[in-house]
Amino acid sequence: MEIRSVGIVGAGQMGSGIAHVFAQAGYDVLLNDINAEGLEKSVGLIARNMDRQVQREKITAAERDAAMARIRTTLALPELGASDLVIEAATENEAVKHKIFAELLPHLRPETILTSNTSSISITRLASRTDRPEKFMGFHFMNPVPVMQLVELIRGIATDAETYDSLLAVVGKLGKTAASAEDFPAFIVNRILMPMINEAVYTLYEGVGSVKSIDESLKLGANHPMGPLELADFIGLDTCLAIMNVLHDGLADTKYRPCPLLTKYVEAGWLGRKTQRGFYDYRGEVPVPTR
């Protein structure tokens, strides 16, 4: 099936980035969120990011204007039912995702492909609660979406070849690279990345190093562009904890036990950049380590 229109559920950081790249690639985008302010902020963010692309001569002003004109917004989830492809990019909470799909299903066309941008939750389990497990897939973009080249494609146990091939073609049209992952907890990227971040938090928790020394060690000693604690703040500590819990629950291995300090930060509401405090305090001109 040729995909021309895309419905996106969730106008947060990921949903906004996904809307950006699809509109730029020529798709008609309908972006949904539960509140009007979220949609307004999302469109503003996409416009600013496209303006930066124009300034850097990555796209022309005409291309920016055409892409922005392809983005529409709605507070009514059922309106996404007419789309060829629906991408759920809501919070990393399985119950929330099931609720969204339940509300959306009666309004979908029979041929519509349904996907989730989940970073860790079982695609097979999500698909089993829908009326189209053969047309359901994991469609996991990396943050920030306009910059990162990888998209993980995750087939559930019932996903058919036609659905996979359709999404593989979409990834190519977006100018990105697809990596096929099996449907096991956290897939590929987060199966490797999150335990590293969790181990960095344990290194801090056990007093082996400070926030600054841990991040500098990985940046300068392993040539990582960003230290693991800085990266955790960028991703969101609540998201990191949620993925570690999925790994721990799904694989039943103690090596995936979330660090108690990570749990404590989330309990405090210090979730990283989005709350202005995490392993760094972002309220001043320069981020300052909080430990």
CA distance 174 to 149: 9
Is 236 labelled a binding residue? no
Contact 156, 123 (CB under 8 A): yes
46-79 core/surface letters (b: 16 or more CB in 10 A; e: else): beebbeebeeeeebeeeebeebbebbbbeeebeb
Q: What is the DSSP letter of 68?
A: H
User: Which residue, among 251, 253, 280, has the nearest Cα to 265 in the 3D structure?
Assistant: 280
Is 169 labelled a binding residue? no
Q: Work out the number of other CB atoms within 10 angstroms of the CB of residue 12.
A: 17
H or E element, residue 218: helix 211-221
Is 15 labelled a binding residue? yes
Catalytic residue set:
119, 140, 152, 190
Is 274 labelled a binding residue? yes
Q: What is the DSSP letter of 289?
A: E
Is 119 labelled a binding residue? yes
CA distance 4 to 267: 42
Is 33 labelled a binding residue? yes
Is 135 labelled a binding residue? no
Is 83 labelled a binding residue? no
Is 160 labelled a binding residue? no
Is 7 labelled a binding residue? no
Is 13 labelled a binding residue? yes
Which two three-digit tokens encode residue 189? Answer: 């990227």
CA distance 223 to 271: 25
DSSP β-bridge partners for residue 30: 7, 72
Q: Provide the residue type at 173 as one letter.
A: K
Handedness of CA 264, 194, 240, 208 (dihedral sign): positive
Is 10 labelled a binding residue? yes
Show binding-site residues.
10-15, 33, 92, 97, 119, 143, 274
Show binding-site residues for NAD(+).
10-15, 33, 92, 97, 119, 143, 274
